[in-house]
Amino acid sequence: MIETSFFSIEDEKIIDSNINNFGKLIGYLDAIGDFTEEVKRLKSWEKYFITSGEEEAKKIILSSLEIEDIFENKAKIELGPYTENVDKFLILAKEKYKNREDYITCRKKEVEYHLNMVGAEIMNKSYRKLFIKSKEKRLLLPSCMRAKDENYCKAIKTKDGYICAHCTKSCNINRYDNLGKDYNFKVYIIPHESDITIKTKFQYGDIGIVGVACVLNLISGGLKAKRLGFVPQCVFLDYCGCKYHWHERGIMTDINEDKLLNTLGVDNINI
């Protein structure tokens, strides 16, 4: 409720760009608990700012804000057609999400969608070559792609995630698991980003993963995967359908199969 009140303030106040305020921002994001990967990287910047001094820190922060404005304007032109309903949703959702713990996640602005879209593409290109060379490839799918909820889904829990039991022919998890058998990649259901863990030691570059998630969640998941030693690639859900955040009853979500196969580089996989 406290964070809801804080983020309900519509006026954007101009805050002095100094190391102290930068540290307060990190502390706040850390306390929320939804920005673990971002906080880790911001703390590295904080250490650099402390070492380099106040003047250098302010220069970099102000430059970042200028770049942000340029990005927001250009992204609106290029990516705006794909996110034209975000502002309408935010107006309708203002009261609906009030006092809910997912208020921050579900009330993010259009530019944050664009940032994740561009960030995912940068991540894909950055790790593409190493991903293609990886010995093992895994597809990590969110639970919202199941035809049945957790009370009826027969998925089997393993050390690396849940695996499909093929209980429902029309289920999208079942569909992509069968595709994985054709193209030699493993499929795991990952209910939450926190479920991405390491149970067996391996060398960086051995395992490549394609993470599937909502636009707003992909980058943090990819950053965590990289930190754990996986080689990440990203594919967006075509639409949101999770009953915990986006839809009252929940609907089975899906991805673009052609985009998935292109990301996996099936021409380079031994079938």
Domains defined along the chain, listed by start:
2-106 (no CATH), 119-268 (3.40.50)
| Helix/strand/coil percentages in the chain, nearest 5 | 55, 10, 35
Condensed to tens digits (0 to 9), the pLDDT of residues 254-269 reads 999 999 999 998 864 4
pLDDT at position 99 is 72
Condensed to tens digits (0 to 9), the pLDDT of residues 106-142 reads 788 899 999 999 999 999 999 999 999 999 999 999 9
Whole-number Cα distances in Å, 267 to 37, 134, 148, 270, 271: 33, 14, 33, 8, 9
pLDDT at position 78 is 96
For residues 67-91, give the mean pLDDT. 92
Report residue 202's pLDDT band, with 50, 70 and 90 as the boundaries. Answer: confident
pLDDT at position 132 is 95
Whole-number Å distance between alpha carbons of 153 and 146: 8
Report residue 1's pLDDT band, with 50, 70 and 90 as the boundaries. Answer: very low
pLDDT for residue 4 is more than 80: no
Whole-number Å distance between alpha carbons of 209 and 232: 5
